[in-house]
Amino acid sequence: MSTELRQLLAERKKPHKWRGIYSVCSAHPYVLRAAMKLAKTKGSPLLIEATSNQVNQFGGYTGMQPTGFVDFVHRLAGQEDFPQGKLILGGDHLGPNPWASQPTAEAMDQAEVMVSAYAAAGFTKIHLDASMPCAGDLTPLPDAVIARRAARLCLAAEKAAGGREPLYIIGTEVPTPGGALEDLGHLKVTTREAALQTLQVHRQIFAESGLEHVWPRVVGMVVQPGVEFNHDSVVFYDPKKAAPLVEWLSDQVGHMVFEAHSTDYQTPAAYENLVRDGFAILKVGPALTFAMREALFALAAIEAELHPSAITLYLPDIVEKAMLRSPGAWQSHYLGSEDEVRLLRRFSYSDRLRYYWADPAIEQAVEALMARLVEQTLPETLISAYLPEQYRRLRLNLFSVTPEALVLDRIVQVLEPYAAACAPVA
C-alpha cells in the first residue's frame, strides 16, 4: 500500500519509527514465502518487486503479466496467512529496456503499455527507468531525454491507476541488474552534482508535463552508493566515500530518500550504515536465490549420502543439463575456460541459474527431491555437514526439521540483516 510506504519513508528519521524497507526482487515461491514468514514474525510490511524483464504485457521470463503476478503473490500470502494489507508491490526498471533493440518510438510505446498494466494491476511503487538507449539513440542519453520519457511513463501510470496514487522512484545511475560483468576496482559513487542534475531536470520536466501535483509522490532516487557484486567478488559500502552524497540528501531534499540497488551480499553493518545514511530502500534479489540453491543442492547431497546407489536424478546434474540445453540466460555473461564457466553456472554471485528454476525438468526434480526427503528422517549429523548454519539454528529450535523448512530458513537467514537494519530505532 502506497500510504504505508509513504509514511514509513517520511518518518524514517524519527525515534521508534521504521527507518527503511528492504525490497525482495524475486518471483520464486520459496523466496517469497520465506520473506512473508520473516515479515509476519516481525510485524513489518513486505515490499515485493517485479522487473520489466521478469513481468510485462508479454509475460516476461516468468510468463506472468502484471495482473498474474499480483494474483500469484496474493495466493502465496493466503497460504502463509500473511495480511494483504501489509503487502507493497513494486515495479522495477519500468521503461523501454526489454525493447531497447527497437526504434525509440516502438520501444516507448511498449513501455507505456507495460507501465499502464502495472499501475492498473495495483502496483503502488514504480521505478521510472527510461535510461536505456534504444535503437538510433545517442549514448549515453541526455538527462533531459531520460526525464521526458520518464514523465511520459508517469502520465500513463497516473491515467491507469484508477484513483490510486502510486509512489515513484527516479534515477538512472543503477548497477547492472543482477550484478556487474566488469571489474569492480573502479566503481564510483554517484556525485552530488550528478544527483542534483537528475533531480532538477526531472522536477522541471515533470512540471512542464503537467505532473507538478505528482512530484510529492516522487519519493526516491536511485543512485550508486558504492555497492556492487560481480561473479566472484563484492564491493562493500564505505560511508566515507558516500559522505558528500549523503550530506547533499540531508541538506537539500526533504521528502526524498535514496534507493540502493545490488545490495546483495553486503555485511549486516553495511545495511545499518546504508539505512542510517538515507538509503532507505534496499534492493535484494540474486542473494536470495543463491541461498536457495545452496540449500537445495545441500539436500541433494544429503540424499546422495543416505542412498548412494539409488540416486539416478541428481538435482545439480539436472540443472546443469537444462542450462546447457538453453544457454541464453548465461552464455553472454559467463566467460573463461570450460571449467571456469562450469563453476560460474552453479556458483556465481550473479546467479544466472535463477532464470532456470521454472524449467519443467528442474521443477519436477525439485518436487521429487522434496517428496522423497519428507518421508524420512534427516540425520542432524548430515544437516551439520551440508547446512551447518541451519544445523546451529535447529539446535536453537528456530524451526522444524523438514526439507522445506531448511530451504526457507536459509533464505530467511539472508533477509534477517535487512530486517534488522530497517527496523525502528530502539
Q: Are residues 250 and 316 in the same domain?
A: no
- Side chain identity at residue 296, one-letter code: L
Residues 341 and 254 in one domain: no
- The angle, 0 to 180 degrees and rounded to 10, between the axes of the packed helices 66-79 and 29-42 is 60
H-only helix segments in 165-311: 192-208, 239-252, 268-276, 286-306
Phi, psi of 425 (to 5 degrees): -65, 130
Q: Report phi then psi at 284, rounded to 5.
A: -140, 140
Domain endpoint, select from 284, 301, 328: 284
- Tell me whether residue 422 is in a domain: no
Q: How far apart are the C-alpha atoms of 231 and 182, rounded to whole Å?
A: 9
Residues 279 and 323 in one domain: no
Co-location of 98 and 237 in the same domain: yes
Strand bridging mode 234-235 / 228-229: antiparallel
Nearest one of 139, 143, 141, 96 to 115, comparing CA atoms: 96
Asked whether residue 425 is assigned to any structural domain, the reply reads: no
CB 304 within 8 A of CB 323: no
Same domain, yes or no: 259 and 363:
no
Number of domains in the chain: 2
The answer on 345 and 384 residing in a single domain is: yes
User: Are the beta carbons of 19 and 280 closer than 8 angstroms?
Assistant: yes
Count CB-CB contacts under 10 A for residue 350.
24
C-beta pairs of 328-334 under 8 Å, 24+ apart in sequence: 329/61, 329/355, 329/356, 330/355, 333/181, 333/231, 334/231
How many C-beta atoms lie closer than 10 Å to residue 395's C-beta? 11
- Same domain? 245 vs 337: no
> Same domain for 101 and 231?
yes
Q: What does the pLDDT read at residue 176?
A: 47
Domain that holds residue 347: 289-416
Q: For residue 421, is it within any domain?
A: no
Nine-digit cell string for 277: 545514511
pLDDT at 104: 97
Cell of 90: 513494486
Please count the helices (runs of H) and the strands (runs of E) in the chain: 15, 10
* Judgement on whether residues 353 and 311 belong to the same structural domain of the protein: yes
Q: Which of these three, 284, 309, 338, is where a domain ends? A: 284
Name the burial class of residue 32, with classes exposed (0-12), middle (13-18) and buried (19+) by CB atoms within 10 angstroms of its CB: buried
Nearest to 50 by CA among 151, 131, 107, 123: 123
The predicted structure's pLDDT at residue 186: 73
Confidence (pLDDT) at 177: 47
Q: Which of 263, 284, 305 is the last residue of a domain?
A: 284
Alpha-carbon gap, residue 99 to 219, rounded angstroms: 27
**For residue 329, what is the domain's CATH number?**
1.10.400.20
In whole angstroms, what is the distance from residue 272 CA to residue 189 CA?
18
Whole-angstrom distance, CA of residue 175 vs CA of residue 386: 33
Buried b (16+ CB within 10 A) or exposed e, 160-175: bbeebebbbbbbbbbb
My answer on whether 109 and 226 are in the same domain is: yes
CA dist 260 and 281 (Å) reads 6
What is the chain's pLDDT, residue by residue, as a tens digit (426 residues)?
Answer: 567 677 777 766 565 566 899 999 999 999 999 999 999 999 999 999 999 999 999 999 999 999 999 999 999 999 999 999 999 999 999 999 999 999 999 999 999 999 999 999 999 999 999 999 999 998 889 999 999 999 999 999 999 999 999 999 999 765 444 444 555 667 899 999 999 999 999 999 999 999 999 999 999 999 999 999 999 999 999 999 999 999 999 887 667 899 999 999 999 999 999 999 999 999 999 999 999 999 999 999 999 999 887 677 799 999 999 999 999 999 999 999 999 999 999 999 999 999 999 999 999 999 999 999 999 999 999 999 999 999 999 999 888 899 999 999 999 999 999 999 998 765
For the entire predicted model, the pTM comes to 0.94
CATH number at residue 53: 3.20.20.70
Name 5's Cβ contacts closer than 8 Å, sequence gap at least 6: 21, 45, 47, 88, 124, 125, 167, 219
